[in-house]
Structure 1
């Protein structure tokens, strides 16, 4: 029975990573017609709707969590469910999906750096080495492996936006730990989504009011919006939580390294993208550096916790 449950947990984590990789593909399709702010709003709204039954089942008042710590909850919402996906979908206006998938691996690295800064967690020398290697790999992607781009400071903006998204995600995780906030779907998570909706709504209304035909999207885009909201906002979180509870956060977090591989396969198979030499070189550096920084130490850090 235990073996079956472990196998089920691995299957859940693999499916979660497939959904996360699909977020790149469907997000890239959606932003052709939907502004990143509007797509972020739909993601929050659909996720809140799918979490609502858990709130109703618990028969509790989720907003009592907000009343006691409204400022911290608002900050977490702005960082975790507003800024993080907004940066991602802004980056996905670019078709460089392989580069953006590689940038995804920087989440645990940035979480470790924020942990050192905000939680006073001391890094070992080997971790600093890992950080340096990963940052060098990130520079390879940031300037597309071209020394001339570096000299002229012509960075790959979409890749930098993905790093900004991961920085927000890492900060969100560290603040959860620093403020001792343990979000559950039927408690704080629903409130986080609602606050995100309230923050985003004025921007959505202003944007859509300025368009000729508001909310007039193709059925493919509506399907992409539904995938983003249901997949990333609801199913992904539950799969990740189930898998993590069964096999542990450290093992579960390793599955995140499947995302850039899956994104690369999707980009090559579905979009006909050609792999570049710098992508292989930079990808190896980033993954190696992150593994050194997050695995070769004795004490667990916030990086061992999977992103929400």
Structure 2
């Protein structure tokens, strides 16, 4: 009887704590995502973006492998029936998306790049309209326009002369390209009705990404006098990126989303530019500019209007994989 009571008490405590654990998991996921900016910025000083993307895929696959072995399944059987779709998802989701990010992070403008991260749900909702035939509400169009104005503020560093002379901030545009790939990836998952689990489809996607990237990495490293000769700080950054973004981030995001819902979980993405800004100012001594404040408010406000102030759910409501 005492055992039954203690078990019911334990279950009650877990039910009470689950929302708190979910919020904690989502916060940890955003901290890891923000850390990806700083570690990526440090690593690309010695590692080519293609090689960094390769290491991220490889380490992520290694950490997902125990789930594959424990499940005793045959993940590659999913590849036989839809090899073209899985290859496309791998090239877009785990090759192009991080490659654009790490190419952008060759710039030290971390605050600008952090703000660009918030365009993911906006681009997802636009791809949903184009590829899934979802109709946008008038208020969503308003949000898109506001966010676009904010993006233009960042793209031309708040200088009208840069807009007139068309002198854009290339690193910020690369971040937008990465977000476009991520949004395209999310919409394709929905269009093709694919839900890759870590121990099945996701592992295969990582492996395909490794195979696609490997020739480029070999060519790049062979051409160096000292291949794989990175400093210990860079190896530490690579390990953080691979373990954090490839393994922990994914599980924290999925757990948090399952507990509190996709709409609530998606709001946590807006913490990333704030965390990146705090880290950039505190750890790198960067100064916050007025145009960054104005542009950030416009982008976040526009995205909130486009993705939250409507009733019809979109692909943006689904967690990224």
TM-score, normalisation: structure 2 = 0.96
Which structure has the larger Rg over C-alpha atoms? 2
Structure 2 unmatched ranges of 5 or more: 1-12
Q: Deviations over 1:35-91 (max 9, x none)?
A: 000000000000000000000001011000111100000000000000000000000
Counterparts of 2:199 and 2:162, CA distance in 1: 48
Residue number among 267, 290, 296 corresponding to 1:277 in the alignment: 290
* Aligned pairs, number: 308
SS of the equivalent of 1:186 reads: coil
Counterparts of 2:105 and 2:311, CA distance in 1: 37
Partner of 1:100: 113
Counterparts of 1:269 and 1:180, CA distance in 2: 43
Partner of 2:263: 250
**Mapping 1:70-219, distance limit 5 Å:** 70-219=83-232
Question: Cα RMSD between the aligned structures?
Answer: 0.5
Moved over 2 A (4+): none
Q: Deviations over 1:154-195 (max 9, x none)?
A: 000000000000000000000000000011001100000000
Counterparts of 2:36 and 2:267, CA distance in 1: 19
Q: Deviations over 1:198-239 (max 9, x none)?
A: 000000000001011000000000000000000000000000
SS of the equivalent of 2:251 reads: helix
Deviation at 1:305, TM superposition (A): 1.4
Residue 51 (structure 2) pairs with residue 38 (structure 1): yes
Deviation at 1:306, TM superposition (A): 2.1
Residue number among 270, 273, 280 corresponding to 1:267 in the alignment: 280
Residue number among 232, 235, 253 corresponding to 1:222 in the alignment: 235
TM-score, normalisation: structure 1 = 1.00
Structure 1 unmatched ranges of 5 or more: none
